[in-house]
Structure 1
Amino acid sequence: MSRLFIRPMTTYDDTRETRPRRLVGAFLGGAPASFDRADAMEQWLGFGLDIQTVFEPWDGERITEQIDLLTAIHTAGRIPLFTWEAYTPTPAATPPDILQRILAGEYDEYIDSWGRALADWLSDPNAGSSGDDRRLLLRPLHEPNGDWYPWAPAATGTEPSMFARAWRRIHRRISRMGVPADRVDWIWAVNHADVGGVSAESLFPGDDVVDLIGVDGFNWGASQEWSQWATPERIFGQMLARIREVSSRPVCIPEFGCTTATLEGPDSTLKGQWLRDAFSYFAGEDIVLVAYFDIEKETDWQVFGGSRGGNTIKIKGTRYQTYPGFRRGVRQFSESVESDM
Structure 2
Amino acid sequence: MVGLTVPRVMMMLTGALLLTYAFAIAPATTFGDGDGVRSDRLAKAEPGTVVTVEAHAAATAAPATPPRTAPELFPPGGKTFIGVATLEGPYDFTAVNKFTTAAKRQPQVMLFSSGWATGKFDRALFDQISGRGMLPMLAWEPWDYLLDEAARKKRYAARKIDKMRSNQPSYRLSHIARGDFDSYLLSWAEGIKSLGYPVAIRFAHEMNGNWYPWCEMVNGNRPGDYVKAWRHVHDLFRAAGATNVTWVWSPNARWAGSTQNLRPLYPGDEYVDWVGLSGYYSTGSTTKYRSFEEIFNDTIKEIRGFTSKPLVITETGASDAVGRKAEWIRETFRVLPRHKDIIGLIWFEVNKELDWRIVSSPAVAKTFAQAVAAPRYQLTWSPGMLPRTALDD
Q: Normalising to structure 1: TM-score of the pair? A: 0.78
| Structure 1 position 271, deviation (Å) | 0.8
Which amino acid letter does the alignment assign opposite residue 86 of structure 2? Answer: L
| Structure 1 position 19, deviation (Å) | 6.5
Among 263, 284, 289, the alignment partner of 2:338 is 284
Among 304, 314, 334, the alignment partner of 2:377 is 334
Alignment of 1:69-218 (within 5 A): 69-88=125-144, 90-91=146-147, 94-95=168-169, 98-122=172-196, 134-156=197-219, 158-180=221-243, 183-193=244-254, 197-218=259-280
Residue aligned with 2:358, SS? coil
- Paired with 2:173 and 2:294, the residues of 1 have a C-alpha distance of 32
Superposition RMSD on alpha carbons, in Å?
2.5
| Structure 1 position 97, deviation (Å) | 5.5
Q: Out of 276-285 and 249-258, give the one that drifted further.
A: 276-285
| Structure 1 position 5, deviation (Å) | 3.8
Aligned-residue sequence identity (percent) comes to 24
- Paired with 1:32 and 1:55, the residues of 2 have a C-alpha distance of 10
With over 3 angstroms needed to count, the CA separation of the structure-2 counterparts of 1:109 and 1:96, relative to structure 1, is closer
Among 282, 303, 312, the alignment partner of 1:220 is 282
| Structure 1 position 310, deviation (Å) | 3.6
With over 3 angstroms needed to count, the CA separation of the structure-2 counterparts of 1:228 and 1:5, relative to structure 1, is farther
- Paired with 1:196 and 1:30, the residues of 2 have a C-alpha distance of 30
1:5·1:21 contact (CA, 8 Å) conserved in 2?
A: no
Q: Out of 46-55 and 24-33, give the one that drifted further.
A: 24-33
Unaligned runs of 5+ in 1: 8-17, 123-133, 312-321
| Structure 1 position 200, deviation (Å) | 1.6
Which amino acid letter does the alignment assign opposite residue 288 of structure 1? Answer: I
Partner of 2:358: 303
Alignment of 1:232-271 (within 5 A): 232-262=292-322, 267=323, 270-271=324-325
Partner of 1:129: none
Alignment of 1:42-53 (within 5 A): 42-53=100-111
Aligned pairs, number: 292
2:89·2:111 contact (CA, 8 Å) conserved in 1?
A: no
Residues 125-145 of structure 1 deviation map (CA, whole Å, 9 limit, x = unaligned):
xxxxxxxxx221110010000
- Paired with 1:271 and 1:40, the residues of 2 have a C-alpha distance of 18
Richer in strand (by share): 1
Residues 232-284 of structure 1 deviation map (CA, whole Å, 9 limit, x = unaligned):
1110010011111111111110000111113xxxx1xx211101211222221
Q: Which runs of 4+ in 1 moved over 6 A?
A: none
With over 3 angstroms needed to count, the CA separation of the structure-2 counterparts of 1:64 and 1:208, relative to structure 1, is closer
2:279·2:315 contact (CA, 8 Å) conserved in 1?
A: yes
With over 3 angstroms needed to count, the CA separation of the structure-2 counterparts of 1:250 and 1:331, relative to structure 1, is same
Q: Out of 68-77 and 42-51, give the one that drifted further.
A: 42-51
With over 3 angstroms needed to count, the CA separation of the structure-2 counterparts of 1:218 and 1:31, relative to structure 1, is closer
| Structure 1 position 58, deviation (Å) | 1.2
Unaligned runs of 5+ in 2: 1-69, 148-164, 380-390
Q: Normalising to structure 2: TM-score of the pair? A: 0.68
With over 3 angstroms needed to count, the CA separation of the structure-2 counterparts of 1:340 and 1:104, relative to structure 1, is closer
1:100·1:162 contact (CA, 8 Å) conserved in 2?
A: yes
2:231·2:271 contact (CA, 8 Å) conserved in 1?
A: yes
- Paired with 1:198 and 1:120, the residues of 2 have a C-alpha distance of 38
- Paired with 2:71 and 2:312, the residues of 1 have a C-alpha distance of 16
Structure showing greater Rg: 2
| Structure 1 position 6, deviation (Å) | 3.4
- Paired with 1:32 and 1:255, the residues of 2 have a C-alpha distance of 17
2:273·2:309 contact (CA, 8 Å) conserved in 1?
A: yes
- Paired with 2:72 and 2:346, the residues of 1 have a C-alpha distance of 15
With over 3 angstroms needed to count, the CA separation of the structure-2 counterparts of 1:19 and 1:79, relative to structure 1, is same
Partner of 2:366: 324
Q: Given the alignment of the two structures, is residue 56 of structure 1 paired with residue 114 of structure 2, yes or no?
A: yes
Partner of 2:82: 24
